[in-house]
Amino acid sequence: MTAFANAGARLDRMPIGAFHYRIMWLIGIGMFFDGFDIYVAGAVLAATLKGGFSTLGQNAGFISATFVGMMLGSFLTGFLGDRYGRRFTYQVNLLVFGLASLVAAFAPDMTVLIGLRFVMGLGLGAENVVGYSTLTEFVPARSRGRWLGLMAVFVVTGLPCALLLGYLLIPSLGWRVMFVVGGLGALIVWYLRKGLPESPRWLESVGRNDEADALLRSIEQSASAKAPLPEPVLPTVRAVPIELAMLFKPPLLTRVVVGCVCLIVINTLLYGFITWLPTFFVKQGLSIATSFGYSLLIALGAPVGTLIGALTADRWGRKPTIVCAALLTIVLGWIFPSIQDPILLPIAGFALTIPIYVLVGLLFGIYIPELFPTEIRLRASGICNTFGRGATIVTPFAVVLLFNSGGVSSVMALMLALLALLIIVVLFLGIEPARRPLEDLKPVLKQLA
């Protein structure tokens, strides 16, 4: 039996090749449909309300069911993923939200649709946690930030795609077709992803060293076809065995606090500001058509922002990129409420969306999975995501209260205060994982012989 597979050192010395591209596409396409299904709510609910299928109160229930499901899905998938593996958990959650989405297309009334949306939320919350964490464990440290950032581009591209497809399909085919598109797409990816390999790092972390070694040998054989691989840089220290209880003690407790604050802030920005922009525009006197056009233009800033985050995370480092993006968001967010010009308004919104989605890519896709050791990565990420998703349950009520009392300026004041908190927490409590092997981020025990 293999004593240690040294999965981390062997994976980190590999050049980027066809294996990595296959992994990214298998995970990324599923993550795209995850993003699509999250953002589809806006287009669907407008249509159900207009057609008399739902009421405003039921639409609020639909949104709440989504976030409650995502919160529970984020929490549960962490335990499943660390216990049964990344591949198994990934397939289960994709199947859950794919099947539930298809069934939702035939919902006889809004009550049933809300129940099915809760089930979809379970899968959606799980996908976000396991997808980023799985890619984290495959990609070499030197380019991990760029690849995880590119994965975030897959997710946020679902926002403009959902808006565009809603605009093209719902008027002629109705809102149900949106669930068919999302469900069929997810099930196709579920079938294709049967070939997704298990994470060698996870296999080694649970003592399945022979399986990890066999998988690594097959990857190495493919990677060495063009040029010999360098010798792996083996660790000089043996890490402390990691257990879940260590999350609630220093130094990992500090990382949990950082992760929770980061995801609470970014979820509040997304679901307390970005998704409310069409409503803000209508309340300010714009027509629904104009509001949709503005929202679509602004949404194009999402993939642009995440792409910028992907290209800068390794070069600038995680902490400097997060802090700079947060500062730029504060500046633009302070200016945005004062703009009334119909030409400048969508341009300013587009500019503001870019640094927000730099943060989306950095926090969801890169920084949070890197904070935690392989043995508990999914559980820890799931806990952080649970707090982040939990914030979205109360966010709509806070937004309505603030908007009614002081308009967009009051809503933006809350967002800017949270961003200031994010900067303080990341600067003083956060670690810098850029270009560092995941194994180097773990607590260590003693020198190896």
User: Per-residue pLDDT for the chain (449 aa), expressed as one digit of tens each?
Assistant: 556 788 999 999 999 988 999 999 999 998 898 888 887 887 788 788 878 898 878 887 888 888 899 999 999 999 999 999 998 998 888 899 899 999 999 999 999 999 999 999 998 888 888 999 999 999 999 999 999 999 999 988 887 888 788 878 888 898 999 999 999 999 999 998 888 899 999 999 999 999 999 999 998 888 877 778 888 876 655 556 778 888 998 889 999 999 999 999 999 998 888 777 766 665 666 655 566 667 777 888 889 999 999 999 999 999 999 999 999 999 999 998 888 787 888 888 899 999 999 999 999 999 999 999 999 999 999 999 999 988 888 887 788 788 888 888 888 899 999 999 999 999 999 999 999 999 888 875 444 43
Contact between 205 and 375 under an 8 Å Cβ cutoff? The reply is yes
Q: Which two tokens stand for residue 68?
A: 């409650």
Structural domains of the chain, ranges and CATH numbers in brackets: 7-201+242-440 (1.20.1250.20)
Contact between 5 and 204 under an 8 Å Cβ cutoff? The reply is yes
Q: Rounded to 5 degrees, what are φ and ψ at 122?
A: -55, -45
How far apart, in whole angstroms, are the C-alpha atoms of residue 118 and residue 101? 11
Q: What is the pTM of this model?
A: 0.88
- State in Å, rounded, how far the first CA of the chain is from the last one: 20
Nearest to 33 by CA among 107, 78, 80, 95: 95
β-bridge partners, 238: 446
Letter for the amino acid at 217? R
Alpha carbon separation from 37 to 24, 94, 166, 425 (Å, rounded): 20, 12, 12, 31
How far apart, in whole angstroms, are the C-alpha atoms of residue 359 and residue 436? 20
Q: Verify cis geometry, omega within 30 degrees of 0, for the bond prior to 251.
A: yes
